[in-house]
Structure 1
Amino acid sequence: MSSAPPIDLSTIPESQRASVLALLQENDALKDANRRLEHLVAELNQVVHGKRSEKLSDDDRQLAFEDLETAVAEAETRKEQAAPSTGTPRRARQRNLGHLPAGLPRIERVIEPASLDCPCGCGRMHRIGEDRTDRLDIIPAQLRVLVDIRPKYACRICSDGVTQAPAAPWLIEGGLPTEGAIAHVLVSKFADHLPFYRQSQILARSGIQVDRSTLADWTGTAAFHLGPVVDRLAEHIKSSGKLFMDETTAPVLDPGRGRTKTGYLWALARDDRGWGGDDPPGVVFTYHPSRAGAHAEQILQGFDGTLQLDGYTGYDRLTRTSRKGGAPITVAHCWAHARRKLKEVFDRDGSEIAAEGLRRIAELYRIEAEIRGMGPGQRLSARQTRSVPLVAEFGDWLQAQRLRISAKSRLGEKLTYIHRQWGGLQTFLHDGRVEIDSNAVENLIRPIALTRKNALFAGHDEGGRT
């Protein structure tokens, strides 16, 4: 969006320039919102009026509408805001019997015997103790209606006016949901992986008829208002000296071709718990329609530090002096991926060479398990003393095996992969903050598979961004 004024401000009195400039910027914002809406209308027309061979099934069309309606709601909210205001680590499973959180409400039920008379006729028994059993009870979600009543007051003696408290601000002016209801829809959609049509069905069981297009509208409005929070979170995360990054597929409906295309969700994460860092863990997901390395470069603008990632070649541009948005990044590659490559060969062929590589990597992981949670200085010292010799031996072993094995063989391809990442695989030896692998971010993107399974695909690129 251009902020350049279309007129010469020097011809306007100095006292009025600020107001005129504000109006021009507001006009630019409205034009940008209109262009977005026009684009979405064109996409909607394609879904509805495409050629017979490109038309979608009813379910596919509804999913496209769902994401388009979310995007339209977000764009309209942005337009309204721009317009002049006219009003107001995985652990072993543990049994939890008797150890429920102390903060949960306790409803005590005392179950007395049918009779307190002593069986031998001595008289009435006395209480000498008790057994207590805690069980988790769940009350289904309760829907309620909040009724805001604003009394009006006037003086009976004079007629100077009426007094009434102003209405409380609503996220959706004149709308049905409270902010709590909108938050519930968002959590259900993005944390619990429930598509809108399922949420609509759940509400219908309680007698509440809310169409999934309405839920999409609420979500689009919330997405607009949460945008600055997401942007600020990304800025905060990128101020760290070490981050994780990974990407995962996000199938997206492509109405013009009558099938799905592959979009990508890029995860940028911070997790310093392994070395006792003070910053809390966090992750920001960004949608892009492809896996091009330029997207990673764009996401990482302003970040200068160490990036932990897998061996995808699209990240190579981040290490070059020509990198846009910052200095070349130090890359730390993932030993879990190296191990995975050898494990694939061992599981299929039972290769002794692959088994030897796995054994050597396991020794490194044993050291990491011992030093996890220690400060970066202690971790670095332990690695320099114990891990550096093992990595050097692994490097010699790797080169010896590559000389013996054809690079075109299955095992040879896996060894070549490890060789290409060799520099980044040694980064953890020189920085106690760096982890040996990028499992932290892989664990964060794993739940997205549930969304792919439940929703099959996003209805539109705009839905992926939301």
Structure 2
Amino acid sequence: MSALPDIDLSAIPEDQRDAVVALMRETASLKEINKRLEHLVAEMNHALHGKKSEKLDEDDRQLAFEDLSIAVAEAEEQKRQTAPDSDKPKRKGVARRNRGNLPEHLPRIEQVVEPDSLRCPCGCGQMHKIGEDRTERLDIVPAQLRVIVTVRPKYACRACTDGVTQAPAPAALIEGGLATEGAMAHVAISKYADHLPLYRQSQILARSGINIHRSTLADWIGVVAFHLRPVVDRLAEHLKGSTKLFMDETTAPVLDPGRGRTKTGYLWALARDDRGWGGADPPGVVFFYAPDRGGQNAETFLRGFDGIVQLDGYQGYNRLTRPSRKGGDPIRVAHCWAHARRKLKEVFDRDGSEIAAEGLRRIARIYAVEAEIRGINAGQRLSARQARSVPLVEDFGAWLQEQRLRLSAKSRLGEKLGYIHNHWNGLQTFLTDGRVEIDSNSVENLIRPIALTRGLPRRRSARVKADHDVANRNLDQRLNRGRPGFRRWRPGARGTEGHSSRAGHDPVRSFRGRCRPNT
């Protein structure tokens, strides 16, 4: 805190000195807080508007905003605490925005606070209850660690020595292992859904006196991944029975043990999200790993699918529309207007091009229609698009061709307009089918969190990501529902589902080498 100014208090009446000192302390404190806030704002401005190489990505930007929000809240609380009781400012209403909206399924722990005395002040006797006020606050109980002790009594006959009877040990995913199925599932979800690396989970457990090396945690996840593979296969089969899917891919650094360093692999996301047109099928996503970005991977992952796929403009997807497509007939493709808009936005941000600005305004009008019709059924969406969006898209197409004739195809803007032109047929698919979205943002939003773990190289353990991103977004509830099923599973029982283990295959050992470094 800043030092108080050196002033002579003797010039101030004695009965006012304490108030003056308190005011000086508060002023110094507020100056210090204001200085910190100005520094945070300056950093944010630099990150948002500085050189491109120094700008924050979306995740870092959100973290910076969190720091700013925390600093503001701290300043407000300090101001409230240092003010006299009669002048204490009320807390911001935003802090109460969720009051009364706590989920009904959460357990309620009632704490009844009775007055110190129920005697009536007038002396006429005991007071009677006429009502009550109830308030609800969210409480968080730290994760509870417990030890499951399995006791198997032994029985024998005292009259003979023919034998001893004892119940068999309950089946476990790791026979004789330390972890229950619930503990293994918790570690896996913490890593792949909450992006908590294994070394950090090991540190968290150590605070409770549980010393488990991250390599052991990696072994647990390897076993979970092996036994969850049928779930992934079944989910992929289920998704490919849909009429429309999204697909996207992103880089994933993977360990290359032979070279002692990492190389670039790819995670491919296949997703379904029919909420935009009120579809009955739940959202779902499955991730596939491939060592490269070749279009043949998309063919393989979509084998057996016959419908519409919403994609970005990556040329590798062109294989899906060929008559010779492996695994089925040519797929109908819907391209992404968000990518088209992004191309123009890049030029506008760099050059301030008025042509790019006009293109952005035209696309915004198309998106405005989509915002109004989101959630209604496919037939109504199609009718609205035919009446309102088709003229806008046709005008955009005419404008696009006019600008391409005026500009050099090799100019920055000419290249961006050429991209839109090359994908024009796919950009119009949404006008002919109410189930199709205007963009592929649904799958991009699913793939974006992978960037949080991109600094944690892995080999085929990237496949485990798919084992945990299955349709149900409420992972905690799914974990609780899945524990009984986990306990019923038997090592080797996967063979009944057509996924029997290879002879001599040890999923723990094969996974250990993939997960240990940098987990």
TM-score range, shorter chain: 0.7 to 0.9
Matched with 2:357 is: 355
CA distance in 1 between counterparts of 2:218 and 2:247 reads 29
In structure 1, the gaps of 5 or more residues are: 1-91
Matched with 1:458 is: 457
Matches within 5 A, 1:38-187: 95-119=97-121, 123-156=125-158, 161-187=163-189
In the TM superposition, residue 256 of structure 1 has moved relative to its aligned partner by: 5.0
CA distance in 1 between counterparts of 2:370 and 2:432 reads 14
In the TM superposition, residue 427 of structure 1 has moved relative to its aligned partner by: 0.6
In the TM superposition, residue 282 of structure 1 has moved relative to its aligned partner by: 0.5
Name the stretch that deviates more: 355-364 or 301-310.
355-364
In the TM superposition, residue 156 of structure 1 has moved relative to its aligned partner by: 4.7
Compute the TM-score of the two structures, normalised by the length of structure 1: 0.76
Matched with 1:57 is: none
Residue 281 in structure 1 maps to residue 279 in structure 2: no
What whole-Å deviation, never above 9, does each CA across 1:121-151 have from its counterpart, x for those lacking one?
5554433322211111111111111111122
Q: Secondary structure at the match of 1:198?
A: helix
The percent of aligned pairs where both chains have the same amino acid is: 77
In the TM superposition, residue 117 of structure 1 has moved relative to its aligned partner by: 3.9
CA distance in 2 between counterparts of 1:207 and 1:167 reads 27
CA distance in 1 between counterparts of 2:154 and 2:430 reads 68
Matches within 5 A, 1:35-434: 95-119=97-121, 123-156=125-158, 161-257=163-259, 259-434=261-436
> Are the aligned partners of 2:198 and 2:214 in contact in 1 as well (CA < 8 Å)?
yes
Q: Which amino acid aligns with 2:135?
A: T
Q: Secondary structure at the match of 2:334?
A: strand
In the TM superposition, residue 255 of structure 1 has moved relative to its aligned partner by: 5.0
> Are the aligned partners of 2:246 and 2:443 in contact in 1 as well (CA < 8 Å)?
yes
RMSD of aligned alpha carbons: 2.0
Aligned residues, how many?
Answer: 371
Q: Which amino acid aligns with 1:417?
A: Y
CA distance in 1 between counterparts of 2:444 and 2:230 reads 26
In the TM superposition, residue 261 of structure 1 has moved relative to its aligned partner by: 2.2
C-alpha distance 93-114 of structure 1, shift in aligned 2 (>3 A) = closer
> Are the aligned partners of 1:250 and 1:457 in contact in 2 as well (CA < 8 Å)?
no
CA distance in 2 between counterparts of 1:408 and 1:126 reads 86
Q: Secondary structure at the match of 1:107?
A: coil
Q: Which amino acid aligns with 2:460?
A: E
CA distance in 1 between counterparts of 2:382 and 2:167 reads 62
Q: Secondary structure at the match of 1:441?
A: helix
Compute the TM-score of the two structures, normalised by the length of structure 2: 0.68
Matched with 1:77 is: none
What whole-Å deviation, never above 9, does each CA across 1:95-133 have from its counterpart, x for those lacking one?
322221111111111122333344555554433322211
In structure 2, the gaps of 5 or more residues are: 1-93, 465-519
> Are the aligned partners of 1:249 and 1:264 in contact in 2 as well (CA < 8 Å)?
yes
In the TM superposition, residue 162 of structure 1 has moved relative to its aligned partner by: 4.0
Q: Which amino acid aligns with 2:428?
A: Q
CA distance in 2 between counterparts of 1:462 and 1:279 reads 30
Q: Secondary structure at the match of 1:446?
A: helix
What whole-Å deviation, never above 9, does each CA across 1:327-372 have from its counterpart, x for those lacking one?
1111100011111111122222222211211111111111111221
Q: Which amino acid aligns with 1:192?
A: D
In the TM superposition, residue 298 of structure 1 has moved relative to its aligned partner by: 1.2
> Are the aligned partners of 1:253 and 1:457 in contact in 2 as well (CA < 8 Å)?
no
Q: Which amino acid aligns with 2:403?
A: Q
> Are the aligned partners of 1:116 and 1:125 in contact in 2 as well (CA < 8 Å)?
yes
C-alpha distance 157-244 of structure 1, shift in aligned 2 (>3 A) = same
> Are the aligned partners of 1:193 and 1:450 in contact in 2 as well (CA < 8 Å)?
yes
Q: Secondary structure at the match of 1:307?
A: strand
